[in-house]
Amino acid sequence: MPELFELFDEYAAAYARGERPRAREYLARAGPQADELAGLIDEFLQRSPAAEPDEETMTIVGALVEGHPPLLELRVQRGLRRAQVVDALVRLLGLDVKKEAKVAGYYHQLEGGLLEPRGVDRRVWDALAETLKTRVDDLVAWRPRRAETAPAYLRAAGVAAEMAPPPVSAASKDERDEIDDLFLFGANK
């Protein structure tokens, strides 16, 4: 187990480099010294100047405050259509092109906040980060509010919402395929 002060120094150095270290991960690594490390990190953050948020962070926070799905806002900000993101997912994940509609259904649910982000495989987040030109940790951390009326709301708000693909239901264990594993069961989180 790493020494307490080594963990703290690692956290502080990452923060100083402009990264967004996750305190929870460091606390887990600290084991029985987690409470002491939490105190050090808390004191450090209170005394450190807050980093200026970048434009992307401001867009995402604005989307969350307004109740808009952050993945949708980011995609729109990048000037991408949903179909372009789906095509990129199929290509980057090495999926069968014939199953593009299923990928589109899952991506639509994820983008709209209707799919549990914790169940999504890390490879999907990596592919989305590459496609949307953002950090994986940022994508994974965003938790849009669940909204059953998202498509109507988006049209009313003036956002160009494409036709929504039909929702994809969770497949039974016998019918499950790689796409279900990637979007629902986090095969390689």
Q: What is the Cα–Cα distance from 102 to 180, expressed in whole angstroms?
A: 9
Compute the distance between CA of residue 63 and CA of residue 143 in angstroms, rounded to an integer: 11
Per-residue confidence of the chain (189 residues) as pLDDT tens digits?
A: 568 889 999 989 988 887 878 888 899 999 999 999 999 999 998 888 876 766 666 766 666 667 667 788 888 888 999 999 999 999 999 999 999 999 999 999 998 888 888 889 989 999 998 998 887 666 666 555 444 444 444 444 444 444 444 444 555 455 788 999 898 887 554
Could you state, in order of their start, the residue ranges of all structural domains in the chain?
4-47, 55-184
Closest to 188 measured CA to CA, from 145, 137, 126 = 126
b/e code 135-150 from CB counts within 10 Å (16+ = b): eeebbbebebeebeeb
pTM, to two decimals: 0.59
Q: What sections of the chain are H helices per DSSP? A: 4-16, 23-30, 34-47, 55-66, 70-77, 82-92, 100-111, 122-132, 136-141, 150-156, 178-184
Contacts for 44 with CB less than 8 Å, ≥ 6 apart: 8, 11, 12, 15
> Dihedral, CA atoms, 157, 159, 163, 167, nearest 10 degrees?
-70
